[in-house]
Amino acid sequence: MEHTIDINKGATKGDIRQKVWNYIEAKDLANFPRPVHHRIPNFKTATQACNKLPILQEFQSSWVVKVNPDRPQEQARFNTLHAGKTLLVPTPRLRTGLFNKIVPPSNATREDLRVCSTSQGVKEFSIPVGLDAKVQVDLMVVGSVAVSEKGYRIGKGEGFADMEYAMMVSMGAVKDSTVVVTVVHDCQVVDVPESLTESHDLTVDYILTPTRIIKTDCKHPKPQGIIWSKLDAEMLEKIPILKKLRALEQKAGKDVRLKVSPSESENAKREPKPEAKPSSDSKHSLTHNPKRDPKLQLTGSMGDQCENPEGEFDHSQSAISTVYLGDIPAGLRVSELKGFLRERNSMPVKLTWQGAQHRAFLEYSDGQAADRALVSLQGLTINGHTLQAERAKSQKGGHRSSADKGQKRTKPQKT
Write phi, then psi, for 223 (nearest 5 degrees): -55, 135
pLDDT of 116 strictly over 90? yes
Please give the Cα distance from 313 to 319 (Å, whole number): 10
What is the band of 54 on the pLDDT scale with cuts at 50, 70, 90? very high
More confident residue, 294 or 70: 70
Please give the Cα distance from 332 to 355 (Å, whole number): 8
For residue 270, what pLDDT is reported?
A: 57
More confident residue, 205 or 393: 205
What does pTM read for this prediction? 0.64
Domain-wise residue ranges, the chain: 13-215, 294-399
What is the band of 287 on the pLDDT scale with cuts at 50, 70, 90? very low
Write phi, then psi, for 327 (nearest 5 degrees): 60, 35
More confident residue, 41 or 257: 41
* AA identity, residue 187: C
For residue 264, what pLDDT is reported?
A: 53
State the architecture of 13-215 in CATH terms.
3-Layer(aba) Sandwich (3.40)
Strand order in the sheet with 359-363: 350-354, 359-363, 322-326, 388-391
The CATH class given to the 294-399 domain equals alpha beta
Q: Report CA-CA distances (Å) from 135 to 65, 177, 246.
A: 11, 14, 19
For residue 219, what pLDDT is reported?
A: 86
pLDDT of 339 strictly over 80? no
